[in-house]
Chain A
Amino acid sequence: MGLFDALGISGSGLTAQRLRMDVTAENLANANSTKDANGQPYRRKEVVLQEASSGFGAALANAQGGSSPAGAGVQVTGIVADATPGRQVFDPGNPDANAQGYVTMPNVNPVTEMTDLIDASRAYEANVTAMQSAKQMFSKTLDLLR
């Protein structure tokens, strides 16, 4: 109830955006990995976000006739591999080249990853600002008791 919800919601946003940054960093780090653990070219990964459903506390409050909460933040439902085919590069000297001398590179586009990275970091900042704002409101409430 109240402002502590806002802190938790912003916290879920921070977690989600940080995970997006981690996954983007992994994509960039593997931009030239022609082999993953299964011997296949690396596939770029993407984070799937979903609006979090209200938890037990909210259900209890509803059952007791209280007001429904303003939200429960965001949750990560999974990290999925991007299925778009990787580009073919002619490099007969590469040990991963096929019979025609072509190597299948990962489907990582550095430009996409960089924009994703900027997007995630801006969204992270927005969540930090929201958290600070809620914190300030809370301390204003505490000031009433002085």
Chain B
Amino acid sequence: MDLFDPVQNALTAAMQGSQVRQTALADNLANVDTPGYVRKDVDFHDALRAAMGSGSSDVSSMDFTPQADTSAPVRADGNTVDVDAESSAMAQNALEYDALARISAARIDILKSAMGVS
């Protein structure tokens, strides 16, 4: 029996995915005035779902590479970044990360009390 169960590993993976997504969204906002820039996003939920569905929660095997998002509307200068959409996506991502971190902390606390470390 491992110290960290699949759920804990999945939480870690989700936090990593959320971090990569935060970086991708920050890149979108930094390039809000770059002509021809195509926005990027990370669908880490999908990657996690695929991994969990296949019965593996091996964190290292998960791939959170940002993908170019070609579905967003294109501005006259070829840029596809919408500041409002990016900001709301970023707020959502930050809240999600917060939730994941709290759940992770609670689970670590449980482990600690089981080990007798306070």
Contacts and interface: CB of A to CB of B under 8 A. Distances in A.
Interface of A: 2-3, 5-6, 9-10, 12-13, 16-17, 20, 49-51, 67-74, 119-120, 122-123, 126-127, 129-131, 133-134, 136-137, 140-141, 143-144, 146
B25 interface: yes
B7 interface: no
A67 B25 CA distance: 17
Q: Is the contact region of chain B dominated by helix, strand, or loop, or is it mixed?
A: helix
A70 B25 CA distance: 9
Contacts of A50: 34
Q: Is the contact region of chain A dominated by helix, strand, or loop, or is it mixed?
A: helix
B48 interface: no
Interface in B91-114: 91, 93-94, 97-98, 101, 104-105, 108
Interface of B: 15-16, 18-27, 29-35, 37, 40, 42, 63-66, 83, 86-87, 90-91, 93-94, 97-98, 101, 104-105, 108
A109 to B, nearest CB: 18
Contacts of B83: 122-123, 126
Contact of B19 (A2, A119, A127): A2
